[in-house]
Amino acid sequence: MNVIVNIITGVVAMLHIGFLALEMFLWDKPAGRNAFHTTEEFAIQSKTLAANQGLYNGFLAAGLIWGLFAGDPVKIFFLSCVIIAGIFGAYTVSKSIFYIQALPALIGLVILLVA
């Protein structure tokens, strides 16, 4: 089971590295605007805020990667952080955030706690 949890944790970390790239570097580019369904004007105006969000996603990814080496308590903490962030995003921005961000982390956390 530990291998499955580590794979899921790694996938969640990679997702957050992708979010970092979209929010910090591609926010006002076509790929970023398409991913987040924003206009060019909005993307330009909110670029700094998006970069800040991307940085936080990078910290989540770093914590998840650290958890792969540090053990279960670190994985539990950072998977929980991702779940909370995903639930908040789903509530405040778009329900799809739950499925993209929170659900993979929730699956990993449940498997980790059951195992």
Q: What is the pLDDT of residues 17-27, one digit of tens each?
A: 999 999 999 99
The rounded mean pLDDT for the chain is 97
The pTM assigned to this predicted structure is: 0.92
Task: Find out whether 106 and 83 touch, Cβ atoms under 8 Å.
Answer: yes
* Residue 61 pLDDT: 98
Average pLDDT over residues 67-73: 97
Overall average pLDDT of the 63-72 stretch? 97
Give CA–CA dist 81/63, Å, rounded.
10
pLDDT of residue 1: 81
Compute CA distances 111 → 24, 65, 97, whole Å: 32, 18, 21
